[in-house]
Chains A and B, each alone.
Chain A
C-alpha cells in the first residue's frame, strides 16, 4: 500500500532559524503532492501543492517545497521561521492511477515549535 513518511515527529527551532521538514512517499507513478498546516485550535489549511511543472513550489507565508522525483521526496522549507509558524505540518499525496483515487494519503505529521 502507498505510504507517506515524515521523518521528524517534533522539531524545535528558535525564531529566524531555517526550516526543512522531510517527506517521502512510496508510490512509483505520477503523484499530486500537498503540504497542509494545522495551527493550534484551527483546522487544516493548505500551504502549497504540486501537480506538475516547476518542481520548486511556493506557498503561503513564505513556505516552499521541492519535488525530487528520483528521491520520491517533497520537502518543505522556510528560510526564517517565526513564532507564529508553531503548528503541525502534514505532507499528503494523491497517487494518479488511471482514474483519480481521490483520497489523500497523509504522513503522520511533524509538530513544529518555534521559541521566541
Chain B
C-alpha cells in the first residue's frame, strides 16, 4: 500500500513570494492534515481537511490556506512568504474517524527555505 506522498521534496523561495505544496493521502483516507515543523518550535498543527471541507485551523495567519480536492488530495498555499516560514511541512492522512479513534500517517514532508 502506498503511503502519503508530498511534492516537491525541497523548495527555495524568496521573501514575499507565494508557494503551493501538494499532498496525496493513502488510498481510502478522507482526512488530510498539515503540520509545520520549524526549528526550535516543534510540530505545530496548521490545517485539517475532511471530505473537501476545512474542519479545523491552527494558530497561523490567514496567508496560510489550503484546499482538498474531490480525490482527497490537498494543497497548502502560503502567500507573502516570510523568513520564519522556513520549515518542514508535513502532511498526514487518516481514514474516516471511527468514534474519534483516528490514527494519522505522515508523508516525508516538503522542506521550504525562504531567503
CB-CB contacts below 8 Å: A82-116 with B: 90, 92, 94, 96, 99-109
Query: B residues engaging A (CB < 8 A)?
Result: 31, 33, 35, 42-45, 48, 50, 55-56, 58, 90, 92, 97, 100-109
- What is the interface of chain B mostly: helix, strand, loop, or mixed? strand
Listed from nearest, the 6 A-B pairs whose CB atoms lie closest are: A103-B45, A44-B106, A106-B43, A100-B100, A108-B42, A43-B108
B residues less than 8 Å from A51 (CB atoms):
101
Closest Cβ–Cβ distance, residue A83 to chain B (whole Å): 23
Contact status of A102 and B50, CB under 8 A, knowing A43-B108, A43-B109, A108-B42: yes
Closest Cβ–Cβ distance, residue B74 to chain A (whole Å): 14
Query: A residues engaging B (CB < 8 A)?
Result: 32, 34, 36, 42-46, 49, 51, 90, 92, 94, 96, 99-109
The CA of A109 and the CA of B35, in the complex, are separated in Å by 15
Chain A CB count within 10 A is highest, among B31, B58, B100, for B100
A residues less than 8 Å from B109 (CB atoms):
43
Closest Cβ–Cβ distance, residue B13 to chain A (whole Å): 22
The CA of A104 and the CA of B33, in the complex, are separated in Å by 9
B residues less than 8 Å from A107 (CB atoms):
42
B residues less than 8 Å from A32 (CB atoms):
100-102
Closest Cβ–Cβ distance, residue A85 to chain B (whole Å): 19
A102 touches B55 (CB 8 A): yes
A103 touches B50 (CB 8 A): no
Closest Cβ–Cβ distance, residue B96 to chain A (whole Å): 11
Q: Looking across the interface, which residue of chain B has its beta carbon closest to that of A95?
A: B100
A residues less than 8 Å from B48 (CB atoms):
102-103
The CA of A50 and the CA of B66, in the complex, are separated in Å by 30
Q: Looking across the interface, which residue of chain B has its beta carbon closest to that of A90?
A: B43
